């Protein structure tokens, strides 16, 4: 049977939301009147989600379960979903029901109009702290301003992509992945659909500040050389300040000023230059570390269980 829609849902410890997630997606997709499949990618859950996913797959032939051997991360789980999806249109949605499944039909409407990437843009965000909203808004705008690819602001991974787009994305095997940036990089005809993001139905967020910071780092280093350029700017700034300081210090010494006698000024200069060097080495280390990860050539993920084709 030809599949029209593949719905990819990465799962990590979402036992409380899985039954309602399945019910709502089934209700929405059955209403579309077209063939669909629900791909649940278990990313090393430890709360019983794995068994629940197996149960759903057993009782509903539209559900396909992919069980990882361990936790590989949300972005890699999305990649596994791309690899196993059989539909003409592939949808990525989170399991926490903050992104309403009902919006999928709105994304599908734009796809049928000829758009090949339809991303969902958050007009409102319920149930989130002011810090979460502020940091998210800052994240999207910083990424937009410094990366080489213009990634739509206020849009997460919730999106629909045409089969031809996903076929291109499957060829991109970098380990430090940022799917929303990757889907912007490939081009094609794209458009956004605004929606209201709900509060999490149950459980706790799987993206605390530490993970958001890591995601931001992956986005910046994966799509921009700006941090390396900042290191260069710091070097020029330090050199410029040093050149300007030479005649000033010489003049003050000749005129007998006490301003630059002693070790304090020397210590400050050494600390400043040392700080610039350490920052620059740290930035270089991030890029070199990513090169090292790519050179190892390990698989992105290991599947313990997967559906038969």
Tens of pLDDT, residue by residue over 282-296, are 777 777 777 766 676
End-to-end CA distance of the chain: 12
Task: Show which of 224, 249, 273 is a domain's final residue.
Answer: 224
Task: Show which of 224, 244, 260 is a domain's final residue.
Answer: 224
306 domain residue, yes or no: no
Domain range for 12: 5-224
154's CB contacts (< 8 A; 6+ apart) are 121, 122, 123, 136, 137, 140
- pLDDT for res 207: 60
Residues 220 and 233 in one domain: no
Span 240-267, pLDDT tens digits: 766 676 676 666 667 666 655 555 566 6
71 domain residue, yes or no: yes
Question: Percent of the chain at pLDDT above 70?
Answer: 68
Mean pLDDT of 161-178: 85
Task: Show which of 196, 224, 252 is a domain's final residue.
Answer: 224
**Number of domains making up the chain:** 2
Residues 91 and 217 in one domain: yes
Residues 172 and 88 in one domain: yes
- Asked whether 78 and 170 are in contact (CB, 8 A), the reply is no
Residues 161 and 256 in one domain: no
- pLDDT for res 3: 80
Which of 48-52, 227-231, 237-241, 283-287 has the highest average model confidence (pLDDT)? 48-52
Residues 155 and 237 in one domain: no
Residues 65 and 125 in one domain: yes
Question: Which residue's structure tokens are 């200069």?
Answer: 269
Q: Are strands 63-68 and 117-125 parallel, antiparallel or unpaired?
A: unpaired
């Amino acid at each position: 049977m030809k599949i029209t829609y593949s719905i990819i849902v990465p799962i990590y410890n979402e036992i409380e939301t899985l039954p309602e997630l399945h019910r709502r997606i089934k209700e929405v997709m059955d209403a579309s009147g077209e063939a669909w499949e629900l791909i649940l990618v278990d990313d090393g859950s430890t709360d019983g989600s794995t068994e629940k996913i197996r149960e759903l797959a057993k009782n509903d032939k539209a559900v396909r379960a992919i069980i990882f051997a361990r936790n590989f991360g949300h972005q890699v789980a999305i990649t596994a979903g791309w690899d196993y999806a059989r539909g003409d249109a592939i949808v990525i949605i989170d399991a926490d029901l903050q992104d309403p499944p009902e919006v999928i039909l709105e994304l599908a409407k734009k796809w049928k109009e000829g758009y090949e990437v339809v991303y969902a843009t958050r007009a409102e965000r319920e149930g989130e702290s002011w810090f979460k909203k502020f940091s998210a808004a800052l994240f999207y705008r910083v990424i937009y301003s410094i990366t080489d690819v213009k990634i739509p602001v206020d849009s997460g991974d919730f999106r629909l992509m045409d089969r031809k787009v996903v076929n291109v994305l499957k060829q991109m095997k970098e380990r430090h992945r940022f799917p929303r940036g990757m889907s912007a990089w490939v081009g094609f005809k794209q458009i956004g659909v605004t929606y209201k993001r709900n509060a999490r139905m149950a459980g706790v967020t799987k993206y605390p500040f530490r993970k958001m910071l890591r995601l931001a780092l992956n986005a910046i280093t994966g799509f921009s050389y700006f941090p390396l350029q900042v290191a260069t700017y710091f070097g020029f700034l330090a050199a410029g300040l040093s050149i300007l300081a030479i005649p000033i210090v010489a003049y003050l010494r000749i005129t007998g000023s006490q301003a630059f006698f002693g070790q304090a000024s020397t210590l400050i200069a050494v600390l400043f230059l040392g700080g610039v060097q350490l920052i620059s080495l740290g930035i270089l280390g991030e890029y070199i570390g990513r090169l090292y990860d790519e050179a190892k050539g390990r698989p992105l993920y290991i599947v313990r269980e997967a559906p038969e084709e």
